[in-house]
Structure formats: C-alpha cells, structure tokens
Structure 1
Amino acid sequence: MNYTTILGLTIGVLIVLAALAFTGTPVSVWLQPEALLIVLGGSMTACMVHYSFTELRQTVGAVKTAMTGVHHSPKELANIVGDAATFIRARGALAAQPLLSAVHDPLLQKGLQMIVDGQPLRDIEHKLGLEIEGQLAQRMKYSKILEFAGGVAPTMGIIGAIVGLIQVSGLLNNPAQMGQGIAGAFSATLYGVGLSNLILLPLSGRLRQLAQQQWHSDCMAVEGLISIAQQDHPTLTREKLEAYLAHLHCQHPAEPSAQPSSQPSSQSRSQPLGTLPLPAVARKKARPISLRAVKRDAAAHLQATDPGDAIDALLGDAAQPGNYSPSELF
C-alpha cells in the first residue's frame, strides 16, 4: 500500500477544511449541493464524452492499484531474474516450469514461459519489446485521463459560479441575500479548483511516475530475460542487472535518459537484438526497429501530449538506422 499518496490526499483535504472552519463562516455557505453537482457531474460527463467507459473503468482500477497495490522494486525484480538465471543454468530451461508459479510479475512470467518453451531469442525479444511498449502507452493513457479531468474541473467550477451569479442578479433588491448568494456562487469555483489541484492532478502525476518507474523495471527485466535466453553465465546476467540498478539510482525516475550518444560506441552486446514490426501504414518502408531504439525513444516521448502520439513518434524515430552505445540500452 502506498501510504504517501493516501496520506498526502487526506492531509490536503483536511487542511482546506480546517482553513474554512477557522474563518467562522457557517457551513451552509460553503456546502452548496448545486455547485457540487455541476462540478462533479460536468467533469464526469466531459470524461465520458472524451473517453470510453472501458478506459474510465480501467483508470479507476489504475488509481486503486497506485494507492493500495503491491509494486515490486527494481532491486526485487533484479533478484528474481538473477535467481532464475542461476536456476536455469544449473538445471536447464525445462526444469524451470515449476518456477513460473512463484513469479507474480506478468512480464517475467511470460518471458520465462517463452524460455521454457524454447522459443528463439529473436521471437522472445520481439514479443517482450511489443509488450513493454504497449504497457507504457496504456499506463500513460490513464495519467492523461486524470489530467484531462483535472483541466475540466476548474472550468466546471467557473460555470457553476456564473450560474450562481445569474441567480443572484434577481436579488438586487435584497442586499443581505445577495451577499450570501454571491458567496455560494463562488463555492463552485472552490470545488472545481480544489478537486483539480488536490486530487486529480496529483493522482495523474502519480500514475505518470509509476508508469515511468515500471517502464525502467520492464526494460531491466527484458534485458535479463534476453541474457538468460542467449545462455549467458548467471554472473554476467547479474552484472547487467546491477548496471541497470546503478543507472536508476543515479537518475530521477521522471526524467529517463533519452539522448543518443554523439559518437557510436565500439562495444556491442554479445548477440544482436531482434526487430519489432512497423504498423501497417508504415510497412512500405519496412525498416527493422531494434529494441534498444525502442527503449531509447520511448523515454524521449514519455512527456508527449498524447500517449498515442508518443507511440507514433516512437515508431517513426526508431525506424531510423544507427548505432547505439550500451549505456543507451538502459
């Protein structure tokens, strides 16, 4: 369970409520059901128009997972992959079948199953590359949905305030009621801004951060699985994983490295990476996309405006041939 996220949301709401209580204003002035209906109902309907019900339901599940789910740290994943490498080296790939039930990470489980099945290295790399690419786009979409809702909520608050002021305009002959009506009208603005900046936008940022962290962990896991599939020594596999961990500790998770080296490195991995297929609209160009290019360019487009645009740009940039240094694999 992520206590920091839950605690932050709770304290933020309590601070605002405490500040309102200290003003001595009656609760009836701040509690306006009509304004709350406009803000919540308007924000929800705007999201329903912009996104499908399935996407909204999945976003709710992603928020729940972000707050209460169990997330493996990169160190834990590295230990699991390292132990699997040692086990498979000692007993063979077929003997690792019982090991799959003890692995709870879906990507690791899928990769180990492919190794046990004896699939070619190129196919393993191909499928796992598509897997992490699709998961990144999906997780970033959840963040964008909350970001969209966070942008709509203040506007709904302004609409609620305008509706309230229109109602107040009929009370010009009664200054006492007009003042109370104006205060109630601006409650809608408070609801909209508070909902956006205290709940929706922080949760959007949290989902984005988790997506970036999970992407780094997935890249590390794929690198370890490829090392196992090409029958590297477990010590070499662990060294690759430790290199990933060292890189993650030195780099802020919200800013993954994305810039290619200006000079190609003479070092290369022991076996070339496989290729990923281009989408149908780009198959006429039919250039191979290396997984290392996918890793590099996915980081470059994590901050893109739209997850779909990020993947389109990712595929377009990754299609350009070039050499990459081993540091860019991380």
Structure 2
Amino acid sequence: MSPAILQQLPEAARASADGQKRQVDLWVLAGIAFAAAAIAAGIAATGVSLAYFFQPTAALIVLGGTFGVMFITTPGNALIHSARRIGGLFWARRGSPETQIEEIISFARIARTKGLLSIEPLIEQASNSFLRESLLLALDMNDRAHLEAALQTKLRLRERHGEIDAKTLDVAGGFAPTIGILGTVVGLIDVLRRFSDLSSVASGLGTAFVSTIYGLALANLILLPAAHRIRARVVEAFEAQELTVEGVLCVFDGLHPTLIRERLNCYLRRKDGLN
C-alpha cells in the first residue's frame, strides 16, 4: 500500500496496519488469581495439606469424562471454535466505540468527496473484520434495503455463534459435577473392597470425595464462568457491531459526517444509560 493511501486511513486503521499489539485482559487474570488464592487459603485454614487434593485418578475420571461428554454433544468444528473463543477471553477487546466512530466518519468523508468506490483500496486496513466485511458489502450492493438485510443477517449469525460457544461450556459445566460424583462412587467401591482395614477405609473415604470436589471446581470455577464471560463478550461485540452497521449504512447513504457522528453518538448515550 502506498504512503499516500496509507495517510488517508483513519488513525485506528493505521494503528492496526502498523501491527497493534493485543493486551491481556487483567480482569480475567485477577479473577483467576483471586479465586485460586481464596480456595488455597480456605484449604490451608483446615490444616489439610494441598498435596492431599492432587489425586491423578480423580482428575482422570472427571476431566476425561467431561471432555468425552463434550465430544459426544458438540460437533468437532464447534469444539475447535469454542476452544479458540476460550483462548480469546484472556485478551482484552481492542479499540473503543469513540475510536470506531472516528474511523467510520473518516471513511464517510472519503466516500462523500470522492465517491463510494474510492474507499475500496482502504478497506483492507480497517481496524476490525466486521467493518471490513460490511464496507465490502456496501460496495457490492446497489439497494439500501438489501444491504441492511445482509448486515443484520451477518450480525445475528455472529451472535448465534457466540451463543453456541457458550452453550458448549454450559453443557460441560452441567455434566462435570455428576461425573465427579461418579468418580466418588468408584472411590467408595474401592474403599468397601478394603473394608477389613479400618485405617485404610478412613483415608480412602477422603480420597474418594476428591472427585466430587474436582467436578464442582471444574464446573463452577472454569466452565460456567467462561460461558458467562463469552456471553458478556458477545453482548459487547454486538453493541459495537450494531454501531458499525448503522455507520456503514450512513456511509452508503452519503450522509454528512456531522450527521453521522450525531447518529452514532446515540449508541454511546444508550450504552451509558443516558437519554
């Protein structure tokens, strides 16, 4: 891309073109650290060694059983997509609505002065994929109603994909405690098999119930919180993409940048809970 064209890009898009680095979501890391510290402190307060809770057999039953259920209930491509979505939870969303508005207005200025097709060389450097795809649709369509329908369909599909990812973790979180109980029953059977040795029975009972703890912890500390976090991210992305849809329609209509800014600022006021 030539320097002349690059200079026309919105600031947010230029930052993306220059290789903007992702930032770690500190809230997620803080939540994990806080939960782990609280649980470790609670266990330490009972006087029981943390090493006692590391039971390979219990972990094998709970993790293997839970992941097996996920393989049964969820198609392979959906599992891969869910795994990528979980990995993305550790990274904060880049950009702000204000920056996105400025980027859309920059495209609108160019389209208004030089024609809609003049933005085509700049689209690849847009700061996010949804904006790129939406602008390309605007170039390919002549009818506003058809463009709006296509953008709304794309918006709903993205929302549905996020819900599918969250549902995958919801299902796994529902089964994990039950599989933990299954592991406990297996442990109790082993204890009863050695019932003649009372000392081994006492220690075996404690070991057996570790499976239940694993199942509850996997569900309530990892799977279900991750599902809720995915839904929160989907809502956040949906709001940003709604703004993008409205902005691209304004660019398509050739509206004045001042009017576009006023329209898009309504989304900021709605997000802040203002009238």
TM-score, normalised via structure 1 length: 0.72
Q: Which residue of 1 aligns with 2:138?
A: 115
Asked if 2 retains the 8 angstrom alpha-carbon contact of 1:29 and 1:183, the reply is no
User: Quick one: structure 1 residues 69 and 55, their matched pair in 2 at CA, closer, same or farther if it must change by over 3 Å?
Assistant: farther
Question: Which digits, 9 at most, give the CA deviation of each residue in 1:47-90, with x for residues without a partner?
Answer: 11000111111101011112125433322222221222122222
CA distance in 2, matches of 1:236, 1:8: 42
Q: Once the 2 structures are TM-superposed, how far is the Cα of residue 102 of structure 1 from its aligned partner?
A: 2.0
Q: What is the correspondence of 1:263-282 to structure 2 with a 5 Å cutoff?
A: none
Q: Which residue of 1 aligns with 2:99?
A: 76
Q: Which residue of 1 aligns with 2:164?
A: 141
One-letter code aligned to 2:251: I
Asked if 2 retains the 8 angstrom alpha-carbon contact of 1:30 and 1:187, the reply is yes
Q: Once the 2 structures are TM-superposed, how far is the Cα of residue 13 of structure 1 from its aligned partner?
A: 2.1
CA distance in 2, matches of 1:190, 1:75: 45
Q: Once the 2 structures are TM-superposed, how far is the Cα of residue 111 of structure 1 from its aligned partner?
A: 1.9
User: Quick one: structure 1 residues 28 and 224, their matched pair in 2 at CA, closer, same or farther if it must change by over 3 Å?
Assistant: closer
Q: What is the correspondence of 1:221-300 to structure 2 with a 5 Å cutoff?
A: 221-250=244-273
Question: Which digits, 9 at most, give the CA deviation of each residue in 1:125-154, with x for residues without a partner?
Answer: 121111001111001111111111111111
Q: Which residue of 2 aligns with 1:177?
A: 200
Asked if 1 retains the 8 angstrom alpha-carbon contact of 2:40 and 2:50, the reply is no
Q: Once the 2 structures are TM-superposed, how far is the Cα of residue 117 of structure 1 from its aligned partner?
A: 4.2
Question: Which digits, 9 at most, give the CA deviation of each residue in 1:159-198, with x for residues without a partner?
Answer: 1111111111123222211111000011011111111111
Q: Once the 2 structures are TM-superposed, how far is the Cα of residue 16 of structure 1 from its aligned partner?
A: 1.5
- Aligned length, in residue pairs: 252
One-letter code aligned to 2:27: T
The answer as to 2:89 corresponding to 1:61 is: no
2:152 counterpart (106, 129, 132)? 129
CA distance in 1, matches of 2:50, 2:36: 16
Question: Which digits, 9 at most, give the CA deviation of each residue in 1:212-231, with x for residues without a partner?
Answer: 11111111110111111112
One-letter code aligned to 1:210: R
Q: What is the correspondence of 1:14-163 to structure 2 with a 5 Å cutoff?
A: 14-68=37-91, 70-117=93-140, 119-163=142-186
Tell me the SS of whatever aligns to 1:102.
coil
CA distance in 2, matches of 1:118, 1:163: 62
CA distance in 2, matches of 1:110, 1:27: 51
Q: Once the 2 structures are TM-superposed, how far is the Cα of residue 242 of structure 1 from its aligned partner?
A: 0.3
Asked if 1 retains the 8 angstrom alpha-carbon contact of 2:194 and 2:200, the reply is yes
More deviation, 63-72/48-57: 63-72
RMSD: 1.8
Q: Once the 2 structures are TM-superposed, how far is the Cα of residue 118 of structure 1 from its aligned partner?
A: 5.6
One-letter code aligned to 2:198: P
TM-score, normalised via structure 2 length: 0.86
Asked if 2 retains the 8 angstrom alpha-carbon contact of 1:227 and 1:237, the reply is yes
CA distance in 1, matches of 2:221, 2:263: 40
| The structure with more helix, counted as a fraction of residues | 2
Larger RCO of the pair (alpha carbons < 8 Å, separation 6+)? 2
Q: Which residue of 2 aligns with 1:254?
A: none
Asked if 2 retains the 8 angstrom alpha-carbon contact of 1:13 and 1:198, the reply is no
